[in-house]
Amino acid sequence: MQKVGIFRSIHVKFVLIYVLLILIAMQIIGLYFARELEHTLKTNFTTSIDDRMNLVEFSVREEMLKDKYRLVDDPTLESNLRSVLSGITSEGDIQEIRVINTQNLILATSVLDNQSMVGQRSMDDLVRRSITSESPYEVIELDENTRKRILVRATPIISEGEVIGALYLESNIEKVYTQMDEINQILAGGTAVSLTITIIIGIFIAQTMTRPISDMRRQAQAMSRGNFSRKVRVYGNDEMGQLAIAFNHLTNRLQESQATTEGERRKLASVLANMTDGVISTDRKGRVILINEAALLMLRMTEDTVLNRPISSILGVETEYAFEDLVQMKDSLTLDFSSNERPYILRANFSVTQKETGFVNGLIVVLHDNTEQEKIDMERREFVSNVSHELRTPLTTMRSYLEALAEGAWQDSEIAPSFLHVTQMETERMIRLVNDLMKLSRMDSGDYDLNKEWVDFNYFFSLIIDRFEFSKSQDVHFKRLLPSSESFVEIDTDKMTQVLDNIISNALKYSPDGGDIRFSMDVLDDQIIVKISDDGMGIPLENVKRIFDRFYRADRARSRAMGGTGLGLAIAREMIEAHGGEIWAESEEGNGTTIFFTLPFEPLEDGEWG
């Protein structure tokens, strides 16, 4: 089971959200309470100060009006003002009161230690602003000596609309903030206790809500691993209980759907795996998402190199066709992967997969190996062309000579026999061609039987060589490299004679005067290998494998002049393969050619032959 981080757990999140909501509510309440409390305490404090200041202002104004015409340094005025101020400062909140006239001279102060300031000019800016604007000003400052906050106020003294002086007040407002700090501490303690209780209650509430969710999470994880046997416990009939019932129903439906899908997937996988045709599927962007083993073999690629690559790149047509072109393609596409060594041609058919809305969902490509069919078609066309050519040449010659004879050449005793002789030769040539074609036709259809018998191939081979050596007209030397021991094989002597006749005839045709033809035979454990070599013109390396094709000639003009049909080696190959052997050639241009063929060989036990 996948572990969930402590801060990712819905249980912890629920408790945290619950606690944060309570904490935010309490903070809002606390801030509102602290602000209102501060405003109330300050208001009460300033109201108390205002009431006393009004009394002081009244008394000071009366004294200043009585002595309006006296000198400012009159000791009677100073003593009267000091007696008025001292009664006010004795209450404790007010630290000092000063009386200042309109010339900014200090007339009196309530603090005995500051009596030296009387008669001096006040430098306080708050006093000057109050006298000038005829308005009271106040500010809370930090006392440099006591490091406590004090309320500083400057109030103008007005008589009959005229400012006659000002009162300067310093009062201790620190106790207001002290009270606020004490109340805030009490509020913080209450908040901490409330949060503790809230967290405990929140944990229990969260458990009742998150336990079904945790069960469903574990069930979902088990379902992702293919386990549908678990069921979610239903804790009640509320919304969570109904969700658990629906989840269990969903589990059953998914189990049925997975079983159905798995069965279809196995069927599809079996079909794709056993198809001889290659199948490729793409997504809507043309990238390969599925390919079967047959397609990988045809493309000679691995699954890792194919998946998620564009289909046009896989098929090697990216320069000619884009994915949109392949989607629109109705006809099959021929893919030519041929090399110099062998042809290799595939045919690709395209089918578009679409949704019900018509949106293209992908492309299905079916690959078929068309190499053999193309090769058969090409060989059929080449065969018809070669037969037509081989028949047209003698027929054209015969028609020319017969027309000449019909026009009166038959009366010429010198020309007529020559014309008839050529016509006879061309007729025999066509007969040989037709006979060879009939042989090949019977071999292709399997309409022939091998009349096998056990013969000493060494002796059999020597007889055929003797026959050619006695009848040859060229100055060609035969060299035999045959073993002295007997080698019995089971063969059809007539058909094997045709094989050797065709091979030796070709060797004689292409051997120059004074050249050699070498015959050899090697006996192995399970086969014999026969080799016939000449010193002829040889065959180019790229054409060596083609000499066993029908109508192939190394030197067409020379072969046709000597009556060859181009089918001898093709017939030899069919006969050797019918005997269970193989035939091949090795040649180098200008250095002759060697024909090899093998035949099955079983060594005879002692006493098996009498």
Q: Which helix (H) or strand (E) holds 198?
A: helix 174-224
- What whole-number percentage of the chain has pLDDT above 70? 86
The CA-based angle 556-560-565, given to 5 degrees, is 95
Q: What does the pLDDT read at residue 558?
A: 45
Q: Which helix (H) or strand (E) holds 585?
A: strand 583-587
CA dist 579 and 573 (Å) reads 10
Contact assessment for residue 438 and residue 567, using Cβ atoms and an 8 Å cutoff: no
Average pLDDT over residues 584-593: 86
Rg of the chain over all Cα atoms, to the nearest angstrom: 62
CA dist 503 and 273 (Å) reads 47
pTM for the full model?
0.40
Contact assessment for residue 334 and residue 370, using Cβ atoms and an 8 Å cutoff: yes
Q: What is the mean pLDDT of the chain?
A: 79
CA dist 304 and 493 (Å) reads 56
Q: What does the pLDDT read at residue 398?
A: 75
Look at 91-95, 212-216, 440-444 and tell me which has the smallest mean pLDDT.
Answer: 440-444
In 3D, which of 355, 362, 494, 383 has the Cα closest to residue 440? 383
CA dist 9 and 487 (Å) reads 90
Residues 6+ positions from 391 with CB-CB distance below 8 Å: 430, 433
Indicate if the pLDDT at residue 446 is higher than 90.
Answer: no
Beta-sheet strands, E only, within 383-460: 453-456
In 3D, which of 526, 522, 452, 462 has the Cα closest to residue 490? 452
CA dist 554 and 537 (Å) reads 9
As given in the structure block, the two tokens for residue 588 are 């180098």
Q: How confident is the model at residue 227 (pLDDT cuts 50, 70, 90)?
A: confident
Q: What does the pLDDT read at residue 532?
A: 92
**291: helix, coil or strand?**
strand
pLDDT tens-place string over residues 455-489: 999 899 999 888 888 877 778 889 998 888 888 89
Q: Is 282 exposed, middle or buried (0-12, 13-18, 19+ CB in 10 A)?
A: buried
Q: What does the pLDDT read at residue 501?
A: 85
In 3D, which of 610, 607, 600 has the Cα closest to residue 488? 600
CA dist 111 and 106 (Å) reads 13
pLDDT tens-place string over residues 365-407: 888 887 777 776 676 666 666 666 666 767 777 787 787 777 7
CA dist 528 and 536 (Å) reads 25
pLDDT tens-place string over residues 336-352: 887 776 778 888 888 88
Q: What does the pLDDT read at residue 443?
A: 64
Q: Is 244 exposed, middle or buried (0-12, 13-18, 19+ CB in 10 A)?
A: buried
pLDDT tens-place string over residues 48-92: 877 788 878 788 888 777 766 554 455 667 777 777 777 665 556
- Residues pairing with 517 in the sheet: 478
Q: Which helix (H) or strand (E) holds 390?
A: helix 371-406
